[in-house]
Chain A
């Protein structure tokens, strides 16, 4: 069935199809429509779930943790400052191995106060032990919510998962989507059967302390589970594609990279704009390609190395900065490529912060700079895109 909906509404529809038992909600722009729609669905009984009004994002995540600790399926959503406020509980959740799914609307971090989009909120949480996927459009957002439960609840993974949508660009833009059939989703996503739960017939102690004597082994197992997620992500992507006809290439997608000498790597909705620019430059005979980095955790190191091994130059375009160094995505990409024997020259382009638009012209300009670098011209390794003031 086709629907014309915003990204937030697509997420809400995906959540309904995944049949969560409890939704703990605290609204924050630009995530608000997700929880508004879910509350309407609970009200009109098209979604059989408890809708919890909580007093903060910290409580929203704590409530989701309670839901998961009795073996039920939990959903929550947030953005920006809300995500940062949840951060403390997010570490509890991942350490306890509760397979909670959360939607995050990528929004700038204050101050300067801004409701508009960039990716500094979720990228600041890379070390919280959550799986992180970034989507390109509303359809992918809906599909990834359904896939997220299947990935997070896998017994070899049991790790919470965050589905990231660019604030406003995706959350508030209306697009045509295919709405999967509920019976088929039920077939794809069986009821949750978590081993990490309280049980009246088998009393368990949850979320205990450990001394230094035992702590590190728990962290090792958590790390292995996140690495296990790589295989599960690929399998779930294939299974979903076979059933619903939409494949997303698992951890990382490549576009026209086979013979490309110059590559651009993007995260999230900007990928759609970059595709158009790549097509235009290809028509002009330029050997350029695009990498869509879908997952930041687990990080697709081997896949990225394989795609980049034949390229001469690679640029990373991202909507964040780790002040005093470079972009966080770039740091991760550099680390992976530094292990290649013939690593491409790598450059970092930082833009889109606080909702600044990144246009097709900006992206073309970036790729032309990368082509210049390929031709021997010296360009800055880390540079800001589209600054309005002279520096």
Chain B
């Protein structure tokens, strides 16, 4: 199964130039990612694939939906992971370690 194809399609974000390019209020078609926010992180989750049993607890609990199923059990989209640590806390087999950015 090609998991990547099953992920929602991202609408390409065009930077608005005219004021009419901005929406009325804060309502836009879903699926736009304007900015990557990986810069928010101080720690990042690193998944040990040898320990992971693919229970998908982390996938369910991730508040930002950045963990996705892959050929490699689960993977993290580091462009949008804010490093909150919920996945590491919820992992039943301690397969996820929070590592300080730059020290991995």
Contact = CB atoms under 8 A, between A and B. Distances in A.
Interface of A: 95-98, 158, 195-197, 202-208, 210-211, 214, 217-218, 220-221
**Interface residues of B: mostly helix, strand, loop or mixed?**
loop
B26 A207 contact: yes
Pick the most buried of B22, B25, B28: most chain A CB atoms within 10 A of its CB.
Answer: B25
A211 B24 CA distance: 17
Interface stretch (B30-38, B41-49, B57-65): B30-38
Contacts of B25: 95-98, 158, 196, 218
A204 B27 contact: yes
Given A214-B16, A214-B34, A208 B26 contact: yes
Contacts of B28: 204-205, 208
Interface residues of B, number: 14
Interface of B: 16, 19, 22, 24-32, 34-35
Contacts, number: 54
Contacts of B31: 203, 205
B16 A217 contact: yes
Given A211-B35, A217-B16, A221-B19, A206 B24 contact: no
B30 A158 contact: no
Contacts of A98: 25
A203 B29 contact: yes
Contacts of B30: 203-205
Contact of A195 (B24, B26, B35): B24
B22 A204 contact: no
Contacts of A202: 29
Contacts of A206: 26-27
A239 to B, nearest CB: 23
